[in-house]
Structure 1
Amino acid sequence: MTRPLCIMLVAAEASGDDRGAELMAALKRRLGPDEVRFVGLGGVGMAAEGLTSPFDMSELSILGLLEGLMAYRRVVRRADEMAALARRERPDVAILIDSWGFTLRVAQRLKAQTPELPVVKYVAPQVWASRPGRAAVLAKTVDHLLSIHTFDAPFFEKVGLPTTFVGNSTLSLDLSAADPAGLRRRLAIGPDAPVLIVLPGSRRSEIERVMPPFEDAVALLKAARPDLQVIVPAAATVADAVRARVAGWPHRAHVVEGEADRYSAMKAATVALACSGTVTTELALAGVPMVVGYRLGPVTYAILKQMIRTEFVTLFNIAAQRFVAPELIQSDCNGPTLAREVAQRLDDPALRQAQVAAQNEALDKMGRGGPDPSEAAALAVLKILGRSAV
């Protein structure tokens, strides 16, 4: 009797947890739930699929160079723990999902301590935007790359890293179960009331840096529009911090948690104010016009500004090569400027309609409508292992 396939997955932030959970589900569908077991690190999504994490991944959701330096010892200690887990559990393959700084250190330790273990990186560093040297670094530390962008492969294949394009799982987001009308009823929001959803990020450092200007913007918008309803979907990794901040707001706002309410809130929204990240693609898929804001530490921003090779930070803006959604970064990410951009969209239905149409066009350029990325990733992993699947 053959033992079940053992797969190690490592994710360190909410978007990685989503991808990991989807990949786990796809592997179970193809192999059978009794023919595969999972070890490693993840969040609530991966836990629901059967992975038990040795610690809370949220402590690794680090943003910024200075923050990374301050957390260096913790990151190294946790990377050592992942390598020890691999030695103990002897997985057939390790799949490291996004989170460049942490997963690179895990990969380096796996290669040094368990060189026979195939190591797969799922989601490439964005070398087309900055720091192209990371491609060669990655090629030395992993055996295969699963990429989510069509334009990734040339950067990595030219340095000898086999790359398989699997697509962006966010583009396969299923919003059919969203219930915006039900959410409005439950929160006592009228069917025609304007709704602003505020998404301040999934990392604690994002809450600390991005939430204050978002709060200022919301206060200005509420002062001018008392009937404006505000919903704040909180990521599981930062739900306590978000609730604590919103509780101190002088005006009422609804904090919701969980995937179902988050997607229902998106479908109920008139406009969104969002931290840059995966959520902007989700909002575009939900048909929500948005304003994007982001802040880094001043030193981190000054360094990155010299490295960035693209004008845009939002993926659908990159695909469109224009500002489909406004991006207010660093000093531009302030209450009055954010409020002005949001107000324009709240007050102008034609502007909202035009932005949604442009977002849809950009989503098509990104590959919307392609094969299910989690299924493609599962097939790629099994091929790497030389295993067949139903």
Structure 2
Amino acid sequence: MPNGKPYILFCAGEDSGDCIGEPLVKAIASQYVAKGSGGKRMQNAGLLPLVDFENLPVSGFGDVLPKYFELRKSFNKLKIALESPECLGLVAIDYPGFNMKLAKLAGKLRKPVLYVAPPQVWAWKRKRAQVLAKNPYAKLAVFFDFEEAVYKAAGCNVVRVQHPFCEADSVASHSSKNILLFPGSRKSQALRNLPVFLKAVQKTQNVILVAARQELVPAFKKYNLQVVVAPQSVEDRMSLYRSAEYAITAPGTATLELALSGVPFTVCTRPDPLTYVLGRLFIKTKFFALPNIILGRLVFPEHIVSPWCTRNNVNLSCTKCDDVSAEIREKLAVGKTLEQLAFEFLGQLVEREPQ
């Protein structure tokens, strides 16, 4: 690296990871250089990007294959950065396609790893927990009790951490008749989901399409809808959600924020063909929307649309949902804060700074 300063490598590959990574970067960048992959939030917090974040978000196996060479190039840049003696450790956030390999390499290099939101082994690929358990340099931080149980059973060094969304105000005002559409944070995913969503609201006024980030807006212009970009702060996003009467969303972090806002919503996704087939074969969870998984019961309607379905006639109309925001918030407020986690990680680095 050009300046020869010790640094911490970060790897986040999706918008949800960018949200989680922001307070971690702020804390660590106060003492060390932070480099790696992350979106606008992490970069504004002090991350020096090594790769183009826009190339990283993908949804499902079918989306990975066309971008294989771009993804491989980005991974190799991060791998080289991790192997540098000036790199003191790795902070991995979700994104297992990269981070499982980077964490394994960090273990071989005897560099500490903080893996926040590790793979969803409770849903599939449980052997990943065993792989992480064999890495004595890896510490896992999870948001949900069912994750903690699975990783502890595998012998991992795992702690609970408070979800950054749990502190947001949850009083729902429903001050407008707007219907919000959240098609997903990955471009390919969003473009698959939108035709299904639009069919469901074709006779509805005041429909607003919410883009996860500014870079997705050009892809949505052809739909002739009002498009807004999701605000950067949790508080501003909550304000947007609370102003709505109803929402239709792809699975992911948006479902958690919507549940905390108290706004009723339906979860719907249309996966690519390969992901659809493999998911039916290997994923055994009863629910796929995070709020329903956390609560252990169906509160928000879920729909998985076959990629071969041509009618797009799924009923996504407004459904009355129980306000479970307080119940979910209580479950998310367990454990350490992300800032506390970051400073504990910094404590491991005292002896590792290159002389």
The TM-score bracket by the shorter chain reads 0.7 to 0.9
Structure 1 residues 380 and 327, CA gap change in structure 2 (3 angstroms): farther
Match of 2:305 in 1: 330
SS of 1:22's equivalent?
helix
Match of 1:61 in 2: 57
Match of 2:337 in 1: 373
* Structure 1 segment 117-156 matched on structure 2, within 5 A: 117-140=111-134, 143-156=138-151
Deviates more, 1:194-203 or 1:166-175: 166-175
- 1:8 matches 2:9: yes
What's the CA shift for 1:61?
1.0
| Contact residue 58 and residue 188 of structure 2 kept, 8 A | yes
> Which of 62, 66, 81 pairs up with 1:70?
66
What's the CA shift for 1:300?
1.5
Amino acid at match of 1:126: Q
SS of 2:8's equivalent?
strand
What count of residue pairs does the alignment treat as equivalent?
Answer: 343
Cα distance in 2 for partners of 1:18, 1:193 equals: 27
What's the CA shift for 1:309?
2.1
What's the CA shift for 1:198?
0.9
| Contact residue 182 and residue 250 of structure 2 kept, 8 A | yes
What's the CA shift for 1:129?
1.6
Match of 2:166 in 1: 171
Cα distance per residue 1:66-118 (max 9 Å; x no partner): 32233333333222211212334622221111011121233344445xx1321
* Structure 1 segment 1-390 matched on structure 2, within 5 A: 6-27=7-28, 33=30, 35-88=31-84, 90-112=86-108, 115-140=109-134, 143-173=138-168, 193-219=176-202, 221-222=203-204, 228-236=205-213, 239-245=214-220, 247-249=221-223, 252-259=225-232, 262-331=237-306, 335-339=312-316, 341-342=317-318, 345=319, 351=320, 355-364=321-330, 366-368=331-333, 370=334, 373-385=337-349
What's the CA shift for 1:277?
0.4
What's the CA shift for 1:51?
1.0
Amino acid at match of 2:150: F
SS of 1:357's equivalent?
coil
Cα distance in 1 for partners of 2:73, 2:105 equals: 11
| Contact residue 324 and residue 359 of structure 1 kept, 8 A | no
What's the CA shift for 1:232?
2.2
Structure 1 residues 111 and 7, CA gap change in structure 2 (3 angstroms): same
Q: Which runs of 5+ in 1 are unaligned?
A: 181-190, 223-227, 346-350
Structure 1 residues 380 and 163, CA gap change in structure 2 (3 angstroms): farther
Cα distance in 2 for partners of 1:7, 1:53 equals: 12
Cα distance in 1 for partners of 2:230, 2:284 equals: 36
Cα distance in 2 for partners of 1:121, 1:192 equals: 39
Aligned-CA RMSD value: 2.9
Cα distance in 1 for partners of 2:175, 2:44 equals: 36
Cα distance per residue 1:342-385 (max 9 Å; x no partner): 2xx3xxxxx3xxx2423543443x334x4663123224423544
Cα distance in 1 for partners of 2:157, 2:290 equals: 24
Structure 1 residues 290 and 17, CA gap change in structure 2 (3 angstroms): same
SS of 2:145's equivalent?
coil
Question: Which has the larger helix fraction?
Answer: 1
Q: Which runs of 5+ in 2 are unaligned?
A: none
Structure 1 residues 51 and 192, CA gap change in structure 2 (3 angstroms): closer
Cα distance in 2 for partners of 1:168, 1:57 equals: 23
What's the CA shift for 1:55?
2.2
Cα distance in 2 for partners of 1:25, 1:159 equals: 31
| Contact residue 255 and residue 289 of structure 2 kept, 8 A | yes
What's the CA shift for 1:281?
0.7
Deviates more, 1:82-91 or 1:99-108: 82-91
4+ long deviations beyond 4 Å: 332-335
| Contact residue 260 and residue 324 of structure 2 kept, 8 A | no
Cα distance per residue 1:236-279 (max 9 Å; x no partner): 2xx3444442x3335x4242343255433212111111111011
| Contact residue 75 and residue 102 of structure 1 kept, 8 A | no
Structure 1 residues 323 and 242, CA gap change in structure 2 (3 angstroms): farther
Amino acid at match of 1:316: P
Tell me the TM-score normalized by structure 1: 0.78
| Contact residue 36 and residue 51 of structure 2 kept, 8 A | no
Deviates more, 1:38-47 or 1:140-149: 140-149
Question: Sequence identity, in percent?
Answer: 29
| Contact residue 166 and residue 376 of structure 1 kept, 8 A | no
| Contact residue 41 and residue 232 of structure 2 kept, 8 A | no
Cα distance in 2 for partners of 1:97, 1:198 equals: 26
Tell me the TM-score normalized by structure 2: 0.85
| Contact residue 172 and residue 372 of structure 1 kept, 8 A | no
SS of 2:267's equivalent?
strand
Deviates more, 1:316-325 or 1:70-79: 70-79
